[in-house]
């Protein structure tokens, strides 16, 4: 339970497999994964090969859903009913609360309420714990009791995106067409092109969407636009792409207004809350290079007149380690939080400023205990480290351009490196 | 809410007004309101906010917009430098 959806990326649901899937099968047959032995909590049973009988049942009722006005939704605690949905080798996702017969087979209905499991999963993702992909099976899902006229919302199969979407749709009857983005959110996947024109067309064909709905509209999140050419989707599969708002929370208003999004709904923001959410994963995601650097600093601290001393390692190495960590926090935590209020546009400059202020404060407090050379080293090293980590926050921000980041890096990396080298020289010299 | 702006002078966004039909889709997909349609033509309203995501050019059916799209991410660019491949944001999960 502590590991919902772990290592699902190992299920390589390749395109070759999907092409052979017959559209008459369950819409999400494509996502059928080979049986797994280490199955903990798995892809929704919904997404895998419903029994042939249900497909036959469904295929007779083109309008679908008339028979299921009394939704089986939200009987989620009824274990007897849940058991009746079980299939050998699969496990039902907790958010699936029923199945809707359609011309293309049974489509899973998803709950619009998030449960403890969803919150635990989100918390783990925010802290980068346990796994690096958190996906649901791609394919067609239903919210409420949609019919042939209901809108189709397109989404990524990153579970946090999927959760953010469904929780906003309470009381609506909609179809969700979930694309295979390999557990990556809409915007990043659009940048890579996995949330893109081809995947939409493939998924529309594979699910047999044109037999489920009578209209030809797809509502695609605006942030999917970098990967999706609306005119090509229309040309190749007949569906018109309508770009929805940036945030899922604006979707109900967008739908009520007849697909009109105000200017505010179309803007990406980067609030203090947004930036704060990113800092834990920023820290846990630093990875090996930072660990090696920390270790190197500690060991270098041991070098001195007696060639190497453990005492020096603890005192000088430990001190330098604290300086490194202070620089890291200045660049990866404080700078992101203060981002809009710091002067200058390059992130490296913002980080260097925060680092300098912290270095000066440290000198004011501990300056007397440090020699001149050590103090000088601290004054150079801390801003350089802060600058480096601040620069790396560009990837998490919502407004930096690749050409700008490259320019910024070409200018600042030499300065950061020079400052660090001089600082290291001064610090090592101080040992003798 | 404060406006964010980045190193604008390097942004590769280019608009060919001759090809623009003023359909307005670019204005719709731009997440930073860089483009604005006025009098039947799009124009670049706030270049300094462009992040080169490529949404406008991708959705321009008339080929009026050009931008070297990519990810504005330092570690992706370092990856690109080190491997000689295209800068790719292959950060795990959360990004």
Out of B28, B30, B77, name the one closest to residue A406 (CB). B77
pLDDT digits (tens, 9 = 90+) for A111-123: 988 888 888 888 8
Find the CATH number of the domain harbouring B60: 3.30.70.20
State whether residue B88 sits within 8 Å of chain A by CB: yes
DSSP 8-class letter at A165: H
Out of A268, A399, A403, name the one closest to residue B10 (CB). A403
In sequence order, what are the residues at sequence separation of 6 or more whose Cβ sits closer than 8 angstroms to the Cβ of residue A131? A3, A5, A6, A7, A124, B93
Distance CA A187, CA A159 (A): 14
> Is A191's CB within 8 Å of B71's CB?
yes
Distance from CA of B90 to the nearest CA of A (A): 9
Rounded to an integer, the average pLDDT of B46-52 is: 90
Across A119-128, A181-190, A337-346, B6-15, least confident range: A119-128
Structural domain span for residue B22: 14-83
> Is B73's CB within 8 Å of A394's CB?
yes
Q: Which two tokens stand for residue B85?
A: 């491949």
Across A30-39, A118-127, A241-250, A353-362, least confident range: A30-39
Residue A216 and residue A239 in contact, taking contact as beta carbons nearer than 8 Å: yes
The per-residue DSSP string of A75-88 comes to: -TT-HHHHHHT--T
The count of domains in chain B is 1
- Domains of chain A, residue spans: 84-266, 272-430
Across A138-147, A228-237, A313-322, B75-84, least confident range: B75-84
Confidence of residue B89 (pLDDT cuts 50, 70, 90): low
Domain A84-266: which topology?
Answer: Rossmann fold (3.40.50)
Q: Is the pLDDT of residue A259 over 70?
A: yes
Q: Which two tokens stand for residue A12?
A: 């390589």
Distance CA A4, CA A116 (A): 11
Distance CA B87, CA B78 (A): 8
> Is B70's CB within 8 Å of A402's CB?
yes
Q: Is the pLDDT of residue B91 over 70?
A: no
> Is A399's CB within 8 Å of B51's CB?
yes
Reported for A125-128, long-range contacts at CB under 8 A and 24+ positions apart, including other chains, are A125/A160, A125/A281, A125/B93, A125/B94, A126/A277, A126/A280, A126/A281, A126/B94, A127/A280, A127/A281, A127/A284, A128/A280, A128/A281, A128/A284, A128/A285, A128/B92, A128/B93, A128/B94
pLDDT of residue B3: 66
State whether residue B85 sits within 8 Å of chain A by CB: no
Residue-averaged pLDDT of chain A: 80
Count of alpha carbons within 13 angstroms of residue A352, beta-carbon side: 17
Helix (H, G, I), strand (E, B) or coil at A303: strand
Interface test with B, best of A125, A191, A349 (most B CBs within 10 A): A191
Q: Is the pLDDT of residue A163 over 60?
A: yes
ipTM score assigned to the predicted complex: 0.88
> Is A225's CB within 8 Å of B59's CB?
yes
**What is the number of residues in chain B?**
95
Q: Is residue B34 part of a domain?
A: yes
Residue A377 and residue A419 in contact, taking contact as beta carbons nearer than 8 Å: no
Residue B45 and residue B66 in contact, taking contact as beta carbons nearer than 8 Å: no
Q: Is residue B50 part of a domain?
A: yes
Q: Which two tokens stand for residue B62?
A: 């008339």
pLDDT digits (tens, 9 = 90+) for A262-317: 888 989 888 888 888 888 877 877 777 888 888 888 888 888 777 888 888 888 88
Q: Is residue B89 part of a domain?
A: no
Q: Is residue B4 part of a domain?
A: no
pLDDT of residue A4: 34
Rounded (10°) CA dihedral A82, A84, A87, A91? 10
């Amino acid at each position: 339970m502590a590991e919902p959806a772990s290592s699902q990326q190992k299920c390589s649901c390749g395109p070759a497999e999907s092409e052979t899937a017959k559209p008459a099968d369950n819409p999400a047959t494509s996502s059928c994964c080979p049986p797994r032995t280490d199955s903990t909590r798995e892809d929704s049973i919904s997404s895998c090969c419903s029994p042939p009988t249900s497909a036959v049942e469904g295929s007779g009722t083109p309008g679908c859903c008339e028979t299921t006005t009394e939704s089986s939704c939200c009987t989620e605690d009824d274990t007897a009913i849940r058991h009746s949905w079980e299939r050998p080798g699969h496990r039902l996702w907790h958010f699936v609360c029923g199945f809707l017969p359609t011309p293309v087979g049974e489509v899973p209905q998803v709950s619009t309420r998030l449960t403890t499991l969803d919150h635990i999963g989100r918390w783990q993702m925010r802290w980068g714990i346990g796994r690096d992909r958190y996906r649901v099976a791609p394919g067609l899902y239903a919210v409420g009791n949609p019919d042939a006229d209901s809108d189709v919302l397109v989404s990524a199969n990153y579970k946090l995106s999927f959760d953010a979407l469904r929780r906003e749709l309470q009381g609506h009857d909609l179809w969700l067409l979930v694309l295979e983005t390999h557990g990556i959110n809409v915007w990043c996947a659009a940048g890579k092109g996995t949330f893109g024109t081809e995947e939409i067309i493939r998924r529309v064909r594979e699910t047999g969407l044109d037999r489920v709905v009578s209209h030809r509209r797809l509502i695609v999140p605006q942030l999917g636009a970098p990967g999706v050419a609306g005119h090509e989707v229309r040309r190749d599969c007949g569906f018109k792409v309508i770009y929805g708002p940036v945030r899922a929370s604006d979707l109900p208003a967008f739908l009520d207004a007849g697909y009109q999004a105000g200017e505010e709904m179309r803007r990406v923001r980067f609030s203090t809350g947004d930036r704060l959410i990113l800092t834990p994963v920023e820290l846990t995601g630093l990875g090996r290079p930072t660990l090696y650097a920390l270790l190197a600093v500690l060991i270098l601290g041991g070098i001195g007149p007696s060639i190497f001393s453990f005492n020096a390692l603890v005192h000088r190495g430990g001190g330098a380690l604290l300086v490194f960590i202070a620089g890291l926090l200045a660049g990866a935590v404080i700078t992101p939080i203060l981002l809009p209020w710091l002067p200058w546009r390059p992130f490296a400059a913002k980080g260097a400023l925060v680092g300098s202020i912290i270095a000066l404060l440290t000198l004011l407090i501990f300056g007397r205990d440090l020699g001149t050379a050590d103090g000088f080293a601290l004054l150079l090293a801390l801003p350089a480290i802060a600058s480096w980590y601040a620069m790396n926050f560009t990837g998490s921000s919502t407004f930096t351009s690749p050409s700008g980041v490259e320019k910024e890096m070409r200018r600042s990396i030499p300065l950061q490196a020079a400052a660090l080298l001089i600082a290291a020289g001064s610090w090592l010299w101080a040992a003798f | 809410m404060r406006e964010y702006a980045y190193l604008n002078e390097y942004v590769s966004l280019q608009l060919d007004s001759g090809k623009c039909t003023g359909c307005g889709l670019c204005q719709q997909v731009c997440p930073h309101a860089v483009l604005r349609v006025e009098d039947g033509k799009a124009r670049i309203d706030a270049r300094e906010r462009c992040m080169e995501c490529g949404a406008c050019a991708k959705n321009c059916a008339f080929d009026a917009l050009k931008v070297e799209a990519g990810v504005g991410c330092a570690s992706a660019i370092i990856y690109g430098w080190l491997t000689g491949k295209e800068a790719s944001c292959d950060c795990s999960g959360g990004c």
